[in-house]
Structure 1
């Protein structure tokens, strides 16, 4: 490509113009110097995005009296799309358009486009290399602008953070508001700073900076309030004197500035979540009008520090005012524009409330339930003895008369034989004494014979009770003696508990808050945990008046009989029952518990 032969600016004035990167005509100075290095250039254009907003604008055209050629603009747009250098030949074969992008920190910030004449491709590449060389000055300006923007943003962030810390450090809202206006006056070099809050759609002045030497006469306060209200109504910052691009209503600000002898004013509204709750007014001499950068700093302070101050103000309000404000805000969101989701939700809730307030439904009381046998028979040990036989256990079914368990009777039979012999001996002696007319001996032998007979009858009865049999067709509810064969059992020990196989009753445990709605004869349905797909109907037969405590809850036992016997029912099955009471409005059914709780709560505190 050859050696780049670009030279430094040929005059001190031109060099100073390039070094002064903040000069408003810097781009034309640079472009003029660039074109002086390329005599074959016909026209040149520079577009740049100095505001870093993504919008590129024309900043310089050479020659100065020339216009923006459409071919240059098309080549610039193509370079912005492709983000790479571009060379386009024209139809005459002598002229070309060269376009070069300029990057800063990897982001496209400017494009330089020239129309020049070149004899061959080598000369074109030399021209493009020269543009790249000279573009270093353009990169320098853009980099300095970027650094200055970053520095201003960092400074603004430090001011905001320090101000938030100072405001949070105050013990109450009044001191925090005074500290806020003083900090705003120091950071923006304002003689007077006024803080006001919106109350009932009207702004009221709350605090002024203590550095203000202005009087608080009524006319001045009135004009200040009107100027701040002007910014609140528009929800936009207002500057006076106005900037070129400042398109706001400023009538109240002009009146306030004239009243005080032509002052510079700036009012920034306090906005949080689309709601304007106040405003801040800055006042200083007209010789120092507020700039765009000061406006950005003021808006940053009010947006962040103002929210903190508003939180302190809300926390200092009495409870009734806080509740009223919250209700008012919610109503404004519901009745005002926007917030379609809230409105749809409220409309649906109203429709549901109306529907449930007019629609009747079945009032059922739910309760935990368990199936019990209609009778529970205990099989107990008739006398002390040793267990000889027991093959059944809990869960087995048996028919009436079927053997449950049997005790060892060998010892009883031996005793029975002994008493039989004694009875025979006593009877024989009784007959002999009777034959000899020995009246005393007759009575003794007769008594011994009667005693022996009593013992024999007792032993025979015990032997007959040794085999314990089922008194009816039953299901063994509890008892397992298979591991106790041969062990000693005592009289009265429970060996088995039996329940009828086909005779059940349902035990339900109703909460104490609902027991007054239960009556005998009411019907209901039962769903068992083991059979969730089936429902069993029942009738309430008995209500136990004594309360019980089960798992920390006070309940009453309610008994019921099944309407139809079902082979699937078994003693011990648990589930959930619903007792039908009557038909009521759905809203009264679902709010019954809440209403009862509120009645008790009110009675507890107010009687």
Structure 2
């Protein structure tokens, strides 16, 4: 028996959990929505890949021609301990994969159980990068890991191909605002364009919140977009206060700021002060947008949680306000916006369909490959501790139970006295028989002296008969003391309650079992017995010792089933040594039988498949 304690969680570092296989498609789709942040997209993809195949690390290299550049890296301390030159080995593997245009793999010389797999990303003739993974394959075939790694590489290539973040060509204000405007006008509809413009302006100004208002044909300002709000409700107090501030800005046709800015061209406003009291921010700037003819197009409010010097932002907004006004005017013109975006909508729809198709094919192939990965197949059973043998202590003669020295649960040694029977009647019978025997002996001697041979022989036979009866009583006297034949524990025999009562011949008084070894019975379900064979490894955890596990191997399996807890089960037995006497007969627990390696798909879907077969036989 091997006795172990449960593992403790690793100290320090982060733990990458295995992703939910049933929700894998949703996780990859959410990654596809993060294309505005390339770095975060790569890191999230590496984390998902590590959890999917239980890798020890992953790096994505960008192909810069001469040498690959690590653009995202996640390496565990365990992986770094396997080889001091692991980063350089990963880079060399990535170079080989990019130069050959095919996946490369090889074992670590310092730790042969781990392998490096590198798969290029991109299209043949132009590989944009390489995905390198450190996997612990052990005895499992490399083909499954290689197939999954290449599928992951293809998915990452597709995700990065659709990565189109807005990067201003320079720090020039007009170029930045022009880039924002161009990106907004590519949006499919008016509401999405307003939300996109709001988001781009908030990121560009590093503000905490932005409110956009558009002027109607009558000149009234309508709150059209608000950060962190999908749909603006004009009836709320917040919307009315924001609309009031936007209207004040367009009436004065100049930028307003509170607290007051250092620029004399920017004025303060009590309405903005009231607006800050209504919100949780500490600084606000209002900017009107108008065309070259002086017509009001709209306005914007920028909020910051902390007050500071926003001179650069104010000057930049003053420089680009006409360009932003043109953008708002284009968004407001619904008919022209729709015509201009209809072709883009069709192209976007086709790209979306192609993307969905490729992702679906990738997911199906990925799930199919994952389903063939061999994983440990373990069966859970109930278990019960039974003694390896039981010795029964019985009364050999009828008598009175005089003394009881033990009770159930007591540990005894070989030869320890367990109980005594009353021997007074036996002693009286022995004395009477001894007297009769002596009398017969004297009678025989008398007849021999008188020459009466026949009478002497009869007296001799009587003496022998009495001698035999006396020997029987003497033997009975020896067994009036009941002793333990082995070292062990008293299982049953609470005889103190009947001390002084008569006991019959053959009556069981005590049951004694040895403690040096115990038999553990596993109740294997009928539908699991075909997977269980002698010699399989078993891990047992008893209810009495939840923090300790016992390990052993199945020795025998009973050929006949039995009913236990209203279930039809087969009993499998294994023996545990018990030097400390911790295991006691009757203890219960749970056992895990290691039934070898099985494909993951077979483990997950075998029960539904068997149910379908049963329904087919039942219905047809």
TM interval, shorter chain, is 0.3 to 0.5
* Larger Rg computed on CA atoms: 1
TM-score, normalised to structure 1, is 0.41
TM-score, normalised to structure 2, is 0.40
